[in-house]
Chain A
Amino acid sequence: SAVISQKPSRDICQRGTSLTIQCQVDSQVTMMFWYRQQPGQSLTLIATANQGSEATYESGFVIDKFPISRPNLTFSTLTVSNMSPEDSSIYLCSAYGQLYGYTFGSGTRLTVV
């Protein structure tokens, strides 16, 4: 299966600042996704990261708040902008490839103070 390197693994940030999370996959992938997991909750899809074009956002998530880049097939970033305490969550990236199915990064635990 593919391996995803996600960083940072955790961060504590001041409100009003922004954090960029990176994901690197070690194999060619078809799709990359970003999820949010609020404390004690399940995973909610934020967006599908599209190579070389704007991400496709799910209802309730907007590009200004969660800008996403995917400059090539194996790398993507998610930025959490103008953070507030409500953004404190675990953020996970995921990749899908026809050969190995779905793989998840180890997550970024974000605390906004």
Chain B
Amino acid sequence: SQQGEEDPQALSIQEGENATMNCSYKTSINNLQWYRQNSGRGLVHLILIRSNEREKHSGRLRVTLDTSKKSSSLLITASRAADTASYFCATSKTGANNLFFGTGTRLTVIP
């Protein structure tokens, strides 16, 4: 299976704290993306990092990528209750266009 692994499976933090989620994958990739899903609905694209990039920022989001370890992390700073959702990493394999998703992290931000 191409599916990646994420940890933790679930994370509960207080509003204002930072949340860090990790993703590991198995094959060579073209890029890695992070998505958010609210209540089992459609996915919202958060950020994309290419295989030749090591770090990327977007607002309160910071993503790192270590291709030697086949891992990525997503940091959400100054969390808000509205950040409560499931977060998935997804990889695009070199030469292919379909995405392979990680197992997901369920984040709960307590007001």
Binding site for B on A (CB under 8 A): 1, 6, 30-31, 33, 35, 37, 41-45, 48, 90, 92, 94, 96, 101-107, 109
Q: Give the interface size bracket for B toward A.
A: 20 to 34
In the complex formed, the residue of B with least CB distance to A98 is: B97
Given A6, A45, A107, which contacts B100 in the complex, CB threshold below 8 Å?
A45
Q: Are A105 and B97 in contact (CB under 8 A)?
A: no
Which 6 residue pairs across A and B have the least CB separation, nearest first?
A106-B42, A104-B43, A43-B101, A42-B101, A104-B42, A31-B97
In the complex, besides A43-B101, A94-B99, 13 extra interface pairs with C-beta distance below 8 angstroms are A6-B42, A30-B97, A37-B40, A43-B99, A90-B40, A92-B42, A92-B43, A96-B97, A101-B45, A104-B35, A104-B43, A104-B44, A107-B42
Most buried by B among A6, A42, A103: A42
